[in-house]
Amino acid sequence: MLNKNVQFSFAYLSIFILQLISESDQEGSKLVLDDFHYLLKPSITISLMLYVAFNTQLKGRFAKRIFAGLLFGLFGDCFLMFVHLDSNFFILGLISFLIGHVLYITAFYLDYKWQTGIEKKSSWLAIITFGIFGIGFYLYLRPYLNALNIPVMIYAFVISLMAVMAVNRKGRVNTTSFNLIFYGAILFLISDSILAYNKFVSPIKFSGLAIMSTYMIAQYLITMGAVERKLKKHSVIEAEAKLK
């Protein structure tokens, strides 16, 4: 995988580094990239969308849903760039990422549907683990949410479900794809948790660096996992054709 994706990975690393510089609070760093900020941030998901499209030709429902999830990630990134102008852009960003997570969930469900009867232990463990985390973190945030109480509750449920569905791919796809998407989902959960704590509870020093680094790695890993995806052949060979 590393050799096949090395050129894109280096290009993405360049975007990654430049974006972190633009998020840095170090003196003078923002002055260098301020003029490029509105082009730089969208390039994160645009580059990943192009990579998915090129490598999969968007054949099959899984690739299309991952591509669409990245597209709504692009919308979310763009909306959040303008929060300083109007707080309503935060809601639009939240909705965009929510739709993106739902699209990822539906993509991961295709792999779960491939063989629903295996790896039940992992599925139940994921439901318990991420269920406790999602409910616990929401209850912690609740006193600080005010009018955003319901939207954040829905978002917490959806992103927790996205992590559960990432686990549910275990045993149904190749190990490389499973690991990439699983760790991507975990990092997405971490990124959104840092963002929520920083916005609603208390500002975190260097929060921009923490949020964007985990977010960019998460989207990269999910994209690479989608490109590397191969269904494992079990008892029903025809199921693979149905899910593509």
Residue-wise pLDDT for 88-139, tens only, equals 999 999 999 999 999 999 999 999 988 777 778 888 999 999 999 999 999 9
**Binning pLDDT at 50, 70 and 90, where does residue 234 land?**
low
Amino acid, single-letter form, for residue 91: I
Q: Which of 242, 222, 111 is nearest to 171 (CA)?
A: 111
The per-residue pLDDT for range 201-224, each reduced to its tens digit, is: 999 888 889 999 999 999 999 999
Torsion of CA 79, 72, 222, 118, to 10 degrees: 130
The pLDDT assigned to 235 comes to: 44
The pLDDT assigned to 98 comes to: 97
- Rg of the chain (C-alpha set): 18
Q: Which two tokens stand for residue 227?
A: 């490109």
User: For residues 209 and 212, what is the distance between their CA atoms, to the nearest angstrom?
Assistant: 5
Least confident span in 21-35, 122-136, 147-161, 178-192? 21-35
- pLDDT at 200 exceeding the cut of 70: yes
Q: What is the DSSP string of 134-184?
A: HHHHHHHHHHHHGGGHHHHHHHHHHHHHHHHHHHTTTTTB-HHHHHHHHHH
Higher per-residue confidence, 206 vs 155 = 155
